[in-house]
C-alpha cells in the first residue's frame, strides 16, 4: 500500500480501505456487469473522516468519486483505474426522527427504503419513492435530485430536503443542517449540492422533510384509447380529486405488453390491446370520503368517454400488484442491446415527440423495439430502446431520442442526472451562459477538479 493509501487508512481505520480484488470484485453498478476499476475504495464512518480524506486527496491532486447504492443509469459514478472511490456505505445511521417537527436526520449512506420504514413507524411518510428504493441511498438521491412516482404531488428530492452537511474538495465542512421549512437568511447553500452529482461537494448528512402518513390510498389502472384522452384525464383527475392525486403513470402499449407477458410474473388486469394505460393513485386523510370522491371522478371520466376500461384496487395486495406492473422495468433487459432514456418535456408535445423518436429510430435502424412509459403528470418520459447490434448503436439511438428535444425546449435528463452518458448532449438542454456559470461554480468550489472528474462537462473546460 502506497503512502497516500496508508494515510487514508490511518484516517478511516481498519478495513476502511479496500484494494485489489476487494475493489474489482464489486460490480460498478446495479445494471452493470463490469467490476469497479479504482485505485482503492475508502469507507469513512463520519463527516470528520470524509473531511480528512478529501483534504488529503486534494493536497495530492487525487481524483475522488463518491459511491452510494450504484443504482444510477447515466454513468455518474463510474471510475477510472487511477481514481479513488469514497463509499458512504458505512455512513448509514438514521440519527433522529422528530414527529413534532416532522423531520428526519440521516447520514447519506442510508438506504431509501430504511428511511421510508422509519418514517412509517412514527405515522409519517417520506414521499420520495422510486423503483430502486431497496438499494439506492439518500446521498445518491440528493446528488441526482431524484424524482420518482410522486413528483406530481410532493416534488423532487430538493423539495424534501431541509438541510445538508457537505464536504468540499479541500475538506471544508459546510454544515447547513437547517430544520425549518422557511429560512430566507441569505443563500440557500444546500442547493449547491442537490442535483450536482457529487461534483461540487460530497453530502454526508441531511435533514429530510416528512409528511403525515396518508390514511387512504386509492389506486386504479385504466385503459385509454388515445393520448388526447390521456391528457384530458390528467386534468379531470387532478381537478376532481381535491389535491390528493399523487401518481399519474402512463404506460404505452409496448411497455404494458412486455410487463404482463411471461417471463414477467404479472398477469394483465386489462386486455393488452389498448394504446395507453394509466396508473392513478390518490392519497388522502378520510378513507370513506376519498373512496367516494375517486369513484365519482372515475364515473364522470368514464361517462365522458375518457376511459375505455379500468380495474380498481380493493385491497393493499391488489394495489401492490398494480404497482408491480409499473415497477417491473427490469423486463426491458430481455432485449439486447438495451438503452435506457429519461427525458422531460411539455405534456402537450409528448405524442408528437414520441412519434418523432420512432421515426428517427426507423430511419436509422429499420428494426427496433421501443418500450415507452413515464411520469406523465410531471412531464417525464422513459424509453427502453433496443436497436442495432452492440454498444456501437448507442450514439445513433441517442441522436434519435435527443435531437427532437432541442427544438421543443425539452431536457435530456428529467431525473437521472448527466454523468458521462449525457455529457455530450448537455448543450441541447442548457444554453452557453448556464453552462458557463456551472463551470464557474466548479472552479470556485473544486479548483483542482478532484471531485467526480469528467462528469457533466469536461474538467479541462471547467
pLDDT at residue 462 is higher than 50: no
Structure confidence by residue, pLDDT tens digits, 246-288 = 999 999 999 999 999 999 999 999 999 999 999 999 999 999 9
pTM: 0.94
Contacts (Cβ under 8 Å, ≥6 apart) of 6? none
Contact 326, 279 (CB under 8 A): yes
Measured CA to CA, the distance from residue 8 to residue 59 in angstroms comes to 12
- Identify the pLDDT of residue 209: 99
Residue 72: is its pLDDT beyond 70? yes
Instruction: Give the CA radius of gyration of the chain.
Output: 23
Asked whether the predicted pLDDT for residue 228 surpasses 90, the reply is yes
Residue 360 has what pLDDT?
Answer: 98
Q: Does residue 460 register a pLDDT over 80?
A: no
Percent of the chain residues past pLDDT 70, beyond the cut: 99
Domains (ranges, CATH) in the chain?
A: 3-87 (3.30.43.10), 94-212 (3.30.465.10), 216-329 (3.30.70.2190), 335-415 (3.30.70.2740)
State phi, psi for 284 to the nearest 5 degrees. Answer: -140, -170
pLDDT of residue 248: 97
Q: Which three cell numbers stand for residue 274?
A: 389498448
pLDDT band at 450 (very low <50, low <70, confident <90, very high): very high
Query: Strand pairing partners for 164?
Result: 176, 206
Q: Give the CA distances from residue 111 to residues 55, 255, 324, in Å, rounded to whole numbers and listed in that order.
A: 27, 28, 20
pLDDT at residue 131, rounded to an integer: 86
Whole-angstrom CA distances from 6 to 47, 86, 158 are 20, 15, 37
pLDDT at 1 over 80: no
Q: What is the pLDDT of residues 9-63, one digit of tens each?
A: 999 998 999 999 999 999 998 878 899 999 999 999 999 999 999 999 999 999 9
Task: Give the model's pLDDT for residue 459.
Answer: 65
pLDDT tier at 307, thresholds 50, 70, 90: very high
Is the pLDDT at 422 greater than 60? The verdict is yes
Amino acid at each position: 500500500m502506497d503512502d497516500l493509501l496508508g494515510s487514508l487508512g490511518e484516517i478511516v481505520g481498519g478495513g476502511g480501505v479496500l484494494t485489489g480484488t476487494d475493489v474489482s470484485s464489486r460490480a460498478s453498478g446495479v445494471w452493470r456487469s463490469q467490476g469497479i476499476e479504482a485505485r482503492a475504495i475508502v469507507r469513512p464512518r463520519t463527516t470528520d473522516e470524509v473531511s480528512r480524506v478529501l483534504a488529503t486527496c486534494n493536497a495530492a491532486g487525487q481524483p475522488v468519486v463518491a459511491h452510494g447504492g450504484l443504482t444510477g443509469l447515466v454513468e455518474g459514478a463510474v471510475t477510472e483505474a487511477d481514481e479513488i472511490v469514497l463509499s458512504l456505505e458505512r455512513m448509514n445511521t438514521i440519527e433522529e426522527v422528530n414527529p413534532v417537527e416532522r423531520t428526519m436526520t440521516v447520514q447519506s449512506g442510508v438506504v431509501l427504503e430504511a428511511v421510508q420504514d422509519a418514517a412509517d413507524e412514527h405515522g409519517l411518510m417520506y414521499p420520495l419513492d422510486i423503483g430502486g428504493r431497496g438499494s439506492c441511498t439518500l446521498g445518491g438521491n440528493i446528488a441526482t435530485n431524484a424524482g420518482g412516482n410522486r413528483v406530481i404531488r410532493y416534488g423532487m428530492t430538493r423539495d424534501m430536503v431541509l438541510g445538508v452537511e457537505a464536504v468540499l474538495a479541500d475538506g471544508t465542512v459546510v454544515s447547513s443542517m437547517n430544520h425549518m421549512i422557511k429560512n430566507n437568511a441569505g443563500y440557500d447553500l444546500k442547493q449547491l449540492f442537490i442535483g450536482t452529482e457529487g461534483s461540487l461537494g460530497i453530502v454526508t448528512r441531511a435533514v429530510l422533510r416528512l409528511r403525515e402518513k396518508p390514511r387512504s390510498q386509492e389506486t386504479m389502472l385504466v385503459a385509454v384509447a388515445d393520448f388526447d384522452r390521456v391528457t384530458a384525464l390528467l386534468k379531470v383527475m387532478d381537478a376532481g380529486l381535491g389535491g390528493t392525486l399523487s401518481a399519474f403513470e402512463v404506460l404505452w402499449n409496448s411497455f404494458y405488453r412486455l410487463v404482463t407477458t411471461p417471463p414477467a410474473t404479472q398477469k394483465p388486469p386489462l386486455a393488452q390491446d389498448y394504446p395507453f394505460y394509466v396508473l392513478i393513485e390518490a392519497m388522502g386523510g378520510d378513507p370513506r370520503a376519498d373512496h367516494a370522491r375517486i369513484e365519482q371522478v372515475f364515473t364522470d371520466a368514464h361517462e365522458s368517454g375518457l376511459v375505455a376500461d379500468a380495474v380498481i384496487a380493493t385491497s393493499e395486495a391488489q394495489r401492490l400488484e398494480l404497482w408491480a406492473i409499473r415497477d417491473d422495468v427490469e423486463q426491458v433487459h430481455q432485449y439486447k442491446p438495451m438503452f435506457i432514456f429519461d427525458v422531460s418535456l411539455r405534456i402537450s408535445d409528448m405524442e408528437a415527440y414520441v412519434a418523432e423518436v420512432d421515426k428517427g429510430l426507423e430511419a436509422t435502424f429499420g428494426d427496433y423495439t421501443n418500450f415507452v412509459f413515464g411520469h406523465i403528470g410531471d412531464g417525464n418520459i422513459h424509453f427502453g430502446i433496443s436497436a442495432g447490434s452492440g454498444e456501437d448503436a448507442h450514439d445513433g439511438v441517442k441522436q434519435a431520442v435527443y435531437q427532437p428535444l432541442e427544438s421543443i425546449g425539452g431536457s435530456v435528463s428529467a431525473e437521472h442526472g448527466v454523468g458521462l452518458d449525457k455529457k455530450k448532449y448537455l448543450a441541447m438542454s442548457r444554453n452557453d451562459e448556464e453552462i458557463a456559470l456551472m463551470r464557474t461554480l466548479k472552479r470556485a468550489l473544486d479548483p483542482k477538479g478532484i471531485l467526480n472528474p469528467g462528469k457533466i462537462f469536461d474538467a479541462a473546460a471547467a
